[in-house]
């Protein structure tokens, strides 16, 4: 298995951050069939495969806001208001995704992208581990 870590700056607001290009570069360098595993080793972030742009990013953040409001209901209560919801989010959007790779290219659907989902406005820097298991 080959592996590398990429750094992602998410900023100071909730974000859906596209990492498709970094993933594509990593698997292209492998040049063979296999599996790409994308993992974010943070308790408050997730990895999603979804259509980006055309409002989908904002729709996802709005849906998460409805499901996990940024208010004072959370028992895990350090950090910014509603921080506890960031610790619940990975149960809904897991911290990983596995993608088939064929001929050095991710076998994503036409509109699928790989995104880092981050509701934690207190942590602006994320690490994402890309691992490749060859066929």
* 85 confidence band (pLDDT: 50, 70, 90): confident
- DSSP for 7-68 reads EEE--SS-EEEE-HHHHHHHHHHH-SSEEEEEE---TTEEEEEE--STTHHHHHHHHHHHHS
Say what the pTM is.
0.93
Q: Is the pLDDT of residue 79 over 80?
A: no
When the pLDDT of each residue in the chain is averaged and rounded to a whole number, the result is: 92
């Amino acid at each position: 298995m080959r592996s590398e870590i990429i750094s992602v700056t998410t900023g100071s607001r909730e974000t859906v951050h596209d990492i498709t290009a970094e993933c594509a570069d990593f698997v292209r360098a492998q040049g063979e069939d296999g599996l790409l595993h994308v993992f974010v080793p943070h308790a408050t972030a997730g990895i999603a495969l979804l259509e980006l742009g055309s409002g989908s990013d904002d729709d996802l953040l709005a849906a998460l806001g409805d499901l996990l409001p940024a208010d004072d209901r959370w028992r895990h209560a350090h950090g910014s208001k509603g921080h506890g919801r960031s610790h619940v989010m990975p149960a809904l959007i897991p911290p990983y995704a596995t993608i088939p790779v064929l001929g050095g290219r991710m076998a994503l659907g036409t509109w699928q992208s790989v995104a880092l989902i981050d509701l934690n406005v207190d942590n602006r820097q994320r690490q994402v581990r890309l691992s490749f298991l060859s066929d």
